[in-house]
Structure 1
Amino acid sequence: MEILRFMVENLGLIGERAVEHISIVFVAVTIAVVTAVPIGIAITLSKSAADVVLYFASMMITVPSIALFGLMIPLLSPIGHGIGYVPAVIAVILYSQLPIIRNTYTAIANVDPALREAARGMGMSTFQRLRQVEIPLAVPVIMAGIRTAVVMNIAVTAIAAYIGAGGLGTFISRGISQSDPRQLVTGAVAVSLLAIAADLFLALVQRLLTSRGIASEAPA
């Protein structure tokens, strides 16, 4: 009851922290999509390039989040952004690269060669094939990568509270430092609910972006 009362009494603050949290994740993942999707498409042209890019992206995601946030401090301090919003966004961009690049690469590389040949036979250029055939077919898999990145980084962003970026992780960090289970549980529950809501919303977006023909062929 104490925890529930704390949540009710601090709904306004929880809302403010949730907006901060969403802002970091939204900006970072949007930038990651703009960079990672073209990279994923580009590396389909070279298996060796794909191996190198995916290797380095995999290495990045193995770096502990607290260590990466800490690394941002000396790197960005010379330009006045060692702590706060900017390093949090940069770290989340880096963590978002692997799932989006990997899913984009997998989706484009696995397009049925017969469909490519049919498009080529219709006189489509490489760009036309990509825009009208390959990307529409790849959308469900690319969106799955984006959903993974968003859900994963909602959790990662909670750590950003330790470098002054705000967000729902503030409740968790204060709950730990003050030995206050009310704040700790409030932060954990809020982050979990935000991740679930984001995944459900992106699942809806994925269905809307998936062409009817592909959706009808998907298993129930």
Structure 2
Amino acid sequence: MKIYWFEAQAPRRVVALAKHLGITAEFVQLDLMAGDLKTATYAGLNPNMKAPTLVDGELVLWESSAIMAYLCTQAGSDMWPAHAPAEQVEVLRWLSWNDSHWQDAVGPFYFEHIIKPKFGFGAPDRAALAEKVEGVVRLARVLDEHLQGRDFVACGRLTIADFQLASMATDWRETEMPLASFANVVRWLDGLNRVPAWAEPWPTAQTTRFAA
């Protein structure tokens, strides 16, 4: 199994999950600035020319939620409830909410404060972010109310929905997301940072494989 990645929010979900589950794989780091995503070879695997991508024998998967579900199935983990339809629907609801709403709201903060400095795209444009605050606040209120009395987003335990929603919001303090007044969201995000694989997800130059 190979997992192609670089340091960004979608690959983080996958490599953190692989580490958490003890998945054995070869982790292939892509160099965004060198154009690795746009090579003919990589585009043949992932026509979107994004990451992550998983290759396992003849199977090629892209989109982080699909890859995470596959990894859980391979590991027999209920972080994706493959044998519990009602729980599947619950996880899918929050994966969809992330992709349709939450990601679009918090993504600009992540881009301006994490991606731009990391890849030399310039300084954060705080003026452009000012108009995005209202959208984050509106959705954070939904998530905060849902997390009242809950430690996890779905199924009463850690699932791939937590990794999906948290990926761009984990660094909310550094990215100046307006989340400080949402105590349940902050509690949830801080709690995930106590999961070792989530707190330190990246493969290192010395360690390109995670083994169980």
Question: If the length of structure 1 is used for normalisation, what is the TM-score?
Answer: 0.31
Which structure has more helix as a fraction of its residues?
1
Larger radius of gyration: 1
Question: If the length of structure 2 is used for normalisation, what is the TM-score?
Answer: 0.32
